[in-house]
Chain A
């Protein structure tokens, strides 16, 4: 095959999108054909360089690609490369929140890109406005909840009642601003009697707090019903039925008579209080179902004779169900280890240590339920 045929073959290969080998010649051919072959070799170099530039460019690889300076066929690709590098930078700026970025002089693409950035800017502004509005509403809700907390704090006894021969104390920690736990001390005409009430509404927050307010109202309007532990709980139960939505209530109520030292009590689905006597721990058990669901439930009434030095710990399940990082609950360690170690302490100190132990057990993380503990000691 003569040199001219080879040259034609190479040009055809280039036209087919191939990158042929350089044409070699020994200089024996006609000088114009040799010149043509050398020009085609330069063309092969230029096309090869452009090919090697455009291929990664088409895959979005913008770094470390180059076309040599005097390859003028590649200039439009170099311009495209430059614009893509700039677009990459601009996209990064937009990702960082700079919506002032605009593209000029790139025709239809400029219009589309700029429209996109404007739309993003608009959406971002709209979102920020919504967030501001929500934050504002949230602040209002927080303020209202603070007021609700103040009101609810007034439902809880501000101080412990003075009752001869009995030391009383309490710890009350709602999980939210307002909570569903409640305790109260019920007074009687007879100075030798005092009632201790503790309850827990299912759920937390505002709905639970509203029911708690109802319970408090029922406590203060119980009248003669307070003389009987089961009668008192029944009164509250019947008062709540139909008003508590899907929520229910657990509660314990006990009446201590300092003359007879008898503690009569009833319980409706609530945690058993713990009697601490001479180093031992006993659950104060009785039967009764949860309250607020149906009228006139079965409530057992029991009594126990207390002795000097006896302590009773009344609590809600926020105490015993506090869990550590392994999801193990506090109840077992509380009964088996914590209380035996502190049962000799005065009841107020005992409660403080008990709450701190629970808090430490939970790794210093506030409990995810309301916690209410009431202590009573016969002195």
Chain B
């Protein structure tokens, strides 16, 4: 392993590959447990290397990049808000990311409460008494930032790992972008 310079496979510039060519037999799907294996080993490595706070920040930023990428590639630009939410719900369901729902909407203050049920990161985890979906936080912030064109931040307030059966997020425009 080496490379002190710039990665050639960095996300925004490169394609994610043609899976139909690359995996003609195995196909595009991966079990959730394998996804989690990567997510939690990566998280643990980051924790060990940088400490929890820094690791969380890296995961949040990674999720945010993914959110922007997901939104720009999967959701038509310029949709009305209701159409955007409908499309986002459908895309999250079709891609088996989570069951996405809106609980509250304060359009004036650009503030939303949304939930992700059966999400990839934590649904079914044992109770840990702490929220763990920091990647999803970034993912949602990235989606909203991409859709609105202004910076958003997301914070998980309830999580399967804290005893909820659904992950709840507060998503709002960043003060700096207001």
Residues of B within 8 Å of A71, CB to CB, are 163
Contact B127 A105 (CB under 8 A): no
Interface residues of A in 61-99 (CB under 8 A from B): 69-72, 75-76, 78-79, 82-83, 85-86, 88-90, 93, 96, 98
For residue A104, CB closer than 8 A to chain B, the reply is yes
Interface residues of A in 118-167 (CB under 8 A from B): none
Contact A76 B165 (CB under 8 A): yes
| Residue on B nearest A71 in the bound complex, by CB | B163
| Residue on A nearest B168 in the bound complex, by CB | A82
Contact A82 B127 (CB under 8 A): no
Query: On chain B, which size bracket covers the interface?
Result: 20 to 34
For residue B174, CB closer than 8 A to chain A, the reply is no
| Residue on A nearest B93 in the bound complex, by CB | A104
Bitwise interface map of A from 92 to 117 toward B, beta carbon under 8 Å scored 1, else 0: 01001010110011000000000000
| Residue on B nearest A63 in the bound complex, by CB | B104
Give the residue of B103, B115, B163 whose beta carbon is less than 8 angstroms from that of A70: B163
CB distance from A281 to the nearest CB of B (A): 64
Residues of A within 8 Å of B103, CB to CB, are 82, 85-86, 88-89
Q: Tell me, in angstroms, the Cα distance from A90 to B163 when the chains sit together.
A: 26
Contact A78 B104 (CB under 8 A): no
Residues of B within 8 Å of A90, CB to CB, are 102
| Residue on B nearest A106 in the bound complex, by CB | B99
Contact B104 A105 (CB under 8 A): no
For residue B61, CB closer than 8 A to chain A, the reply is no
For residue B148, CB closer than 8 A to chain A, the reply is no
Contact B115 A69 (CB under 8 A): no
Residues of A within 8 Å of B168, CB to CB, are 82
For residue B166, CB closer than 8 A to chain A, the reply is yes
Interface residues of A in 45-72 (CB under 8 A from B): 69-72
Q: Tell me, in angstroms, the Cα distance from A89 to B129 when the chains sit together.
A: 29
Contact B166 A89 (CB under 8 A): no
Residues of B within 8 Å of A85, CB to CB, are 103-104, 113
6 CB contacts below 8 A, A to B, read A69-B129, A79-B164, A85-B104, A86-B115, A100-B83, A105-B99
Chain B residues at the A interface, C-beta cutoff of 8 Å? 82-83, 86, 89, 93, 99, 101-105, 113, 115, 117, 127, 129, 158, 162-166, 168
Known pairs A79-B164, A83-B101, A104-B89 / 16 extra A-B pairs, C-beta < 8 Å: A69-B162, A70-B163, A72-B127, A79-B165, A79-B166, A82-B101, A82-B115, A82-B166, A85-B104, A88-B103, A89-B103, A89-B104, A89-B105, A90-B102, A98-B86, A100-B86
